[in-house]
Amino acid sequence: MNQKTAIVALGMSLVLLIVAVSGGMIIPLSDQGKDHSSAPEHSQVISGNFDIERVDFIHYAKPTGPTKPAPTTPTCYKLMGIKWRNLPVSYTINTIKYEGLSPEQLKSTLSTSAETWDSATKKELFSNSYTTGDVTFGILDGKNAIVFGPYSESNVIAVTSVWYSSRTKEIVEFDMLFDDEWAWGDATDDQSLMDLQNIATHEFGHAAGLADLYTESCDFVTMYGISGEGDVEKRTLEQPDITGLRAIYGI
């Protein structure tokens, strides 16, 4: 190989290295999340702009066995580094499959969870009005979909997918899936149920731009990413949740 050829080869290697390390923020927590970490090219919202990326947040059920010790002074909120530019955000609830809750209970509970975040800032994040319809999880179609359905990975309670522009850091869509393998309802009445308001409040935090926490000493905050049947303490926000939200949208 002559000197000129070697220089060209080195330059191509550097370009490939830069491309490899300069991708957008991807925070998938499972193999399925990795598979779907980039938006499909045919998605309607992209319209030829291929800087849209997707991150999946997986809400796990409580594990059994010992846990690792946590740092003594954690920061109990984590920003995704992205936000909505156009507020408030509307969403559509699929009430076709609601697993034991009446459509009225379902809509009321989800609305309450969304408004819990609105009450922590002067910004109207989520619209007070919402629509119902036959929407689908996991498709970038311009609809912020909330649905019940199966999830292939075991021990998963819910998943929220967020699409955003890697260029402008603007959120363009979210979808929520509540795994219908769990018995959903109001855990204040029956502790064997997975409390919908408890889980939905956490999921709306992702929709607003907050990431999961898994530090055990942060298990009291709403954005802690592990829950269980009968849990209701995450229906309301703790100060770290509010601090994180206001870091994104202001007081």
**Predicted confidence pLDDT, tens digits, the chain (251 residues):** 544 444 334 343 333 332 232 333 333 334 443 333 333 333 444 444 568 999 999 888 876 555 544 444 468 999 999 999 999 999 999 988 666 788 899 999 999 999 999 999 999 999 998 999 999 999 999 999 999 999 988 889 999 999 999 999 999 999 999 999 999 999 999 999 999 999 999 999 999 999 999 999 999 999 999 999 999 999 999 999 999 999 999 98
Q: The sheet that has 52-61: what strands, in order across it?
A: 131-132, 92-93, 145-149, 171-179, 156-165, 52-61, 226-227
Question: What CATH code is carried by the domain that includes residue 126?
Answer: 3.40.390.10
32 occurs within a structural domain? yes
Q: Which residues contact 90 (CB under 8 A, 6 or more apart)?
A: 126, 127, 129, 130, 131, 144
Q: Which residues contact 195 (CB under 8 A, 6 or more apart)?
A: 184, 185, 186, 187, 188, 229, 230, 231, 232, 235
8 occurs within a structural domain? no
How many independent structural domains does the chain possess? 1
Parent domain of 242: 24-249
12 occurs within a structural domain? no
- pTM comes to 0.78
Sign of CA dihedral 70, 75, 80, 84: positive
228 occurs within a structural domain? yes
